[in-house]
Amino acid sequence: MELTKERVREIIARRVAKEFKDGDVVNLGIGLPTEVANYIPDSIYVALQSENGLIGMGPTPCEAEEDCRISNAGGSLVTIAPGGCFFDSFTSFGIIRGGHVDATVLGALQVDEKGNLANWMVPGKMVPGMGGAMDLVVGAKKVIIAMEHTAKGAPKILKNCTLPLTAASEVNMIITEKGVMEVTDKGIILKELSPYSSIEDIENSTEATLIIDEDLKVMEV
């Protein structure tokens, strides 16, 4: 079944949102990870932090709610939940580097079976650098990569990253539209498989060797 781009992003964001616990402080990276805010269950409170200096982000605003003064680190307009607050970059990175972020959700260009992450150097394009991602992957207690499984059909989960690394051996979990994978010392374990995929499909679109969990579950989408 061919999924639309919007449906792929929704599947990933919805599944990521299930990883949080009540009271967690979570940083959402720019791009797809910001959509996770729209699917956090009402039954729990998650404090969403942005490295440009705010904590307590809410869902993506509708046009009537947009406030040009409130944006995330990528410059996209966001809402602020009751009790949310603003602060300077010094305080923001003190939160990140001090180990106060329970989880960070980031996109990636490449991830490999050692848990290495490459998510900033786009080949052929001028980029300013890796930004706050370098601090987040080291400072957060859990690093979740939320990304499409392939790029124009080419695998993004590799045996070894070929692009410059953002961090080495820091990725804990990879969530794509095809499945949920845990990065361990033994390699990448496929824990959940999307109902839109198959073991053969996910193995064919992954360069790294996948260890199929004995208790493989169907991914909730």
CA 36 to chain centre: 9
Query: Could you say which of 10, 19, 35, 51 is catalytic?
Result: 51
User: Catalytic residue at 63?
Assistant: no
The total of other beta-carbon atoms located within 10 Å of residue 203's CB is 14
The total of other beta-carbon atoms located within 10 Å of residue 166's CB is 25
Task: Please state, in angstroms and rounded to a whole number, the distance separating the CA atoms of residues 157 and 29.
Answer: 19
Q: In the β-sheet with 110-112, what is the strand arrangement from edge to edge?
A: 117-118, 110-112, 157-158
Element (H, E) at 10: helix 5-17
Task: Please state, in angstroms and rounded to a whole number, the distance separating the CA atoms of residues 179 and 186.
Answer: 18
Sign of the Cα pseudo-torsion (49, 88, 136, 176, in order): positive
The total of other beta-carbon atoms located within 10 Å of residue 115's CB is 22
The total of other beta-carbon atoms located within 10 Å of residue 134's CB is 17
Active site residues: 51
